[in-house]
Structure 1
Amino acid sequence: MSSPGVPLPLKTEHSTRDRLYLNFLNVIPFLIGSIAILRDSPKWVAVYIGIALFFFLVIELRFACTHCSYYIRSKNCVKCMMLPGIPKIFKARPDPHSPIEKAILALGALPVFLFPVYWLIKDPLLLGAYVVAWALFFLTARRYECVRCINFECPMNRVPAEVKEDFEKKGGLSGNIEISAENIRLSGTDRCASLRAEHEFKDFLYWNFVTLTILFSAGLAIGISSTGWLLTYIFIVIFHFGILEQYFFCTHCPYFVRGEKCLRCMMNWGWPRHFKPVPYPPGKFDLAITSLGFVIVIFFPLPWLLKVPFLLGTYLVAILIFLLTIWRYECGRCIYFGCPFNRVPAEVRKDYQK
């Protein structure tokens, strides 16, 4: 199949799952900001909500969305991943953004991001969570959505120039990136969602950033009460991911043999390969041991997290984001077919193995 550099096909439409997932990511920083403000004054929360609504429903809709292909394609209501069902109260403008429109957008966005900072700096935990939440949203959108978005006017758009030209020549008829057997089999065409044969260092950076969000919130909750138990938790995490998971799960993975002396996968980049690859899928015993290790890692910090509700919420939301994101964007094109979460169709697996 393909290398990680092969561009994914453009997404001409958004599904309900797209809207739910991206809006879930988007609402998290707003919720954190609202919590910080609410501790001081409910009235200022109302002001904050008003500022956000004015930006998204007026400024962004008029000065950004009207130039967007998704907006232009919609009939009566907007059909995009961020503002579904909003009436098209402004006229579509297929021409590029003017400098004035870009300036208005930038000035309009600043209050949305900066308004809650006054209250957030009073609580370093909330401030950190706020920054991380926005970082997760933008990194995820840029990494998985901006590379296949047909809104070429957006400054975050990362679709290669040749793909844009090809899309425009075809009159905007490129297919969506739904991970299906038909699309994956069409590897090498502009409609394929090809399997990921290799990982890159940037994959490792992204996924470990998401993972560290989980581990940091748990470690912080434990560390507040006991340094000894924190060291125990760190040992458990290192033992599970560095030894237990590698031996019983990773040795069966095709990515395990990538690289020379060190691993080259999105979760373990540069980690020494202590064990020999196993050329067959993991058995029930391997999966049971790996699952038990994950259960211990996940549930071990709960007694301490229950004492700090905010960290408990951060921990659970971070786990949910991790699972939703990896299931949505990675499991449908992963070549580790022995993994119980793999979503590549059976006929595509057979074709790849041949």
Structure 2
Amino acid sequence: MANSTSAITCTWKDEVVCEDCRLRWRLGCRFDPADFWFFIWNQIPSLVMACLGLVLVGSMVGTWWPLIGFVVLCVVLWGLGVETRVLCSHCPYWTEDSKILHCWALTGSPKIWRYRPGPMSGLEKATLVIFFTSLVVLPLAAEGYGIWAVARELPRFGLYGLLGLIGVTVGTVLAFFQFAVIIQRDFCQRCVNFSCPLNRVPRWMRDEYLRRNPVMRRAWEASGYRLSDPQA
């Protein structure tokens, strides 16, 4: 477990520190369980549709390795803590005095890594992008292959079999698109994990938060980051 305490960032301090903060109600710097459940319920459709499509491809075409690969990716990313290591351990939410993470995305994850107040490294960003991209591309590519394979043997599977797989594939695309829109609109524009490749928080808000959190500010400036003019 990390050696950090809740006092390292204002995210876990008493809310009285928020009274004079101009980021209040703009930045998602305080944990709200409603945000977590909103995120989860919007993530579930994409995972369900991806798994459904991969199961259909496996049962119809006999190609099961994409489903196995998808499950392995999920286990490595979430079960073995790759995402919490490369992404979450840089986040202010990680500084809570708890062995369990509480945030809008991965509440319940064990905090097995130490807190890293600086920004993500290039390798960490690349690792995260590869995993996230693979979770989208693998099921869609497998479903596309399944459509092609079923179409080649249409007399065997029938038109309804082909249309069913096409429908699931379209559903998977829409579910991924819906999830991407939700996280960009409702989370990434106010998330305090500023160095995440998906983060869209305006620079002035990021710099204002760093000014209020000296440990993070020193780590970011040590990495070469320079704060903007507070009057700009």
Normalized against structure 2, the TM-score is what? 0.63
Residue in 2 aligned with 1:17?
34
Matched, 1:50 2:77: no
Shift in Å at residue 46 of structure 1? 5.0
Matched, 1:30 2:47: yes
- Of residues 117, 121, 134, the one that matches 1:98 is 121
Matched, 1:87 2:129: no
Q: Is the 8 A contact 1:67 1:97 kept in 2?
A: yes
Structure possessing the higher relative contact order (Cα contacts under 8 Å, 6 or more residues apart): 2
Q: Is the 8 A contact 2:53 2:172 kept in 1?
A: no
Shift in Å at residue 18 of structure 1? 1.4
The whole-number CA distance in structure 2 between the counterparts of 1:64 and 1:155 is: 10
Residue in 1 aligned with 2:170?
128
Q: Which runs of 5+ in 1 are unaligned?
A: 1-5, 173-354
Q: Deviations over 1:57-98 (max 9, x none)?
A: 422111111112222335211111111111111222111211
Q: Which runs of 5+ in 2 are unaligned?
A: 1-22, 148-164, 215-232
Shift in Å at residue 108 of structure 1? 2.4
- Aligned residue identity for 1:61: T
- Of residues 145, 152, 157, the one that matches 2:199 is 157
Residue in 2 aligned with 1:116?
139
- Of residues 126, 133, 148, the one that matches 2:190 is 148
Shift in Å at residue 164 of structure 1? 2.1
Residue in 2 aligned with 1:166?
208
- Aligned residue identity for 1:33: A
- Which is higher, the Rg of structure 1 or of structure 2? 1
The whole-number CA distance in structure 1 between the counterparts of 2:201 and 2:187 is: 10
Q: Is the 8 A contact 1:14 1:79 kept in 2?
A: yes
Normalized against structure 1, the TM-score is what? 0.43
Shift in Å at residue 31 of structure 1? 0.4
- Aligned residue identity for 1:30: L
The whole-number CA distance in structure 2 between the counterparts of 1:105 and 1:156 is: 10
- Aligned residue identity for 2:42: L
Shift in Å at residue 29 of structure 1? 1.0
- Aligned residue identity for 2:115: A
Shift in Å at residue 48 of structure 1? 2.4
Change (3 A) 1:163 1:119: closer
- Aligned residue identity for 1:159: V
The whole-number CA distance in structure 2 between the counterparts of 1:169 and 1:72 is: 17
The whole-number CA distance in structure 2 between the counterparts of 1:156 and 1:110 is: 12
Shift in Å at residue 35 of structure 1? 0.8
Shift in Å at residue 40 of structure 1? 4.0
- Aligned residue identity for 1:77: I
- Aligned residue identity for 2:181: L
Residue in 2 aligned with 1:69?
92
What is the aligned-residue RMSD (CA, Å)? Answer: 2.5
- The total of aligned residue pairs comes to 167
Identity of aligned residues (%): 23
